[in-house]
Amino acid sequence: MTMTPRAVVYWATTAFVVFNMFSGALAELARLTPNVEGMQALGYPIYMMTILGAWKVLGSIVLVAPRLERLKEWAYAGMFFNMTGAAVSHFVVRDEAWHVWYTAGLAIVILVSWALRPESRIIGAPLFQAATRAVRRTRLAIA
């Protein structure tokens, strides 16, 4: 089985996203001291760690599970919103710059993983394929 460069980049970015989200979720659910201090510095209540941690675990599982296209869309959206919100929060409280850059960078990696996902993981892909085949047939018939 040979993998295309697109598939390699997709799986590399997806693995990076899943590792970051899942490990971050475990740290939040365990309420590790640095995470608690970070949430307090951002001005968020500590119970948010439980909510975010639970959703990150579920989202990480969904991204690597077969099928579940609609849930994958929700997982990608939630992760993107979480990371862009984190980047803005770190910026607003004038946190160390690496916090802003890392969370914003992770949001970009999430977008890359989403954009490169295989056709089988795209909602409506068979419908889109059928529509493009119909358009091609129409063009051929006219020519």
Domain ranges, ordered by start, for the chain: 5-142
Q: Which residue has the tokens 């510095």?
A: 41
Report the predicted TM-score, pTM, of the whole model to 2 decimal places: 0.82
pLDDT per residue as tens digits for the range 52-102: 999 999 999 999 998 899 999 999 999 999 999 999 999 999 999 999 999
CA distances from 102 to 9, 38, 93, 116, 138 (A): 19, 14, 16, 21, 48
